[in-house]
Amino acid sequence: PKLMSIVELSQLGSEPDVQMLTSLLEAFEELMQHNVVSWEALTENFVKKLINFIDRSHQPEYFQASVVSMCLDILHSIIVNSPKFYGLVSGEISVAAVMPFLDKQDTNVKCSTLAFINAMISKAAAKEDVIRNVHQLGKQMRDSVLSQFPSGAVPREIAQELYIYQC
Q: What is the pLDDT of residues 89-123, one digit of tens each?
A: 999 998 889 989 988 989 999 999 989 988 888 88
Quick check: 30 and 77 in contact, CB under 8 A? Answer: no
pLDDT band at 140 (very low <50, low <70, confident <90, very high): low
Q: How far apart are CA 76 and CA 117, in angstroms?
A: 8
**Cα 148–chain centre separation:** 20
Please report the pLDDT score of residue 54 as a whole number.
96
pLDDT band at 134 (very low <50, low <70, confident <90, very high): low
Neighbours of 106 (CB within 10 A): 16
Helices and strands in the chain, H and E counts: 9, 0
Q: What is the dihedral of CA 113, 22, 57, 143, to 10 degrees?
A: -20
For the residues 73-91, what does the mean pLDDT come to? 93
For the residues 62-69, what does the mean pLDDT come to? 93
- Local structure of residue 105 (DSSP, 8 states): S
For residue 9, the SS3 value is helix
Where on the phi/psi map is residue 152: left (φ > 0), alpha (ψ -120 to 50), or beta? Answer: left
The one-letter amino acid code at 21 reads: L
Q: What is the pLDDT of residues 27-55, one digit of tens each?
A: 999 999 888 888 888 999 999 999 999 99
